[in-house]
Amino acid sequence: MAAPIQADELRIVTYPARVLLQRAQAVGLVNAEVRSVAGRMIELMYEAQGIGLAAPQVGLPWRMFVADVPAPRDDEPDSTRKRLTSETDPALPFSTQGPVVYVNPRLDAPKGVPEAVEEGCLSLPDIRGEVLRPPIVTITATDLEGREFTQTGSGLLARCWQHEVDHLDGVLILSRMTQRSRLKNRAPIRDLERGAERSA
């Protein structure tokens, strides 16, 4: 029997940690341990000033992620508001309105012409690059009460969902970036790899 997870000891892991490159396993029963881990993940996400965090990013091969995607502020420039929302269907949700936990999520029904938007990742410090993703997608997941829910989102919310589900499939933005962004990030990627080799 596996030892219980000490949620307060969880920390964000960085590339090239093996857990980030493997497909995560489905979460079974949503129990107290799962809820405790989710709570710690939300804390870590806020501490790192992120909008999403997947379980593999804290070293757990679970199909679960947390997100808190903000709505654009009234004083945001138009260029930022355009990135955060979606011109394809502005009536769709583009923020979470607080932290949300997604257990065993799956994505469906992507819509719209894929857009290139710069993304970062808490497991790839100091690395940012343009990633093409469709602006609208539907997610189905289980919440911390064990209830399944489905939502369609747009803009930054849809992008966050796709980014985090990629983590659950062992896919990082490094393999999604445009060629120009990959070239721009070659040096910092090598720095992360060499740092891991030195600490091994």
Annotated active-site residue in 115, 119, 130, 164: 164
Q: Is 33 a catalytic residue?
A: no
Q: Report the distance separating Cα 6 and Cα 10, nearest Å.
A: 7
156, 69 contact by CB (below 8 A): yes
Q: Report the distance separating Cα 172 and Cα 143, nearest Å.
A: 24
| Maximum separation of any 2 CA atoms in the chain, in Å | 54
The b-or-e profile of 78-106 (16+ CB within 10 A means b, else e) is eeeeebbbbebbeebbbbbeebbbbbbbe
Q: Report the distance separating Cα 42 and Cα 134, nearest Å.
A: 26
Could you list the active site residues?
Answer: 164
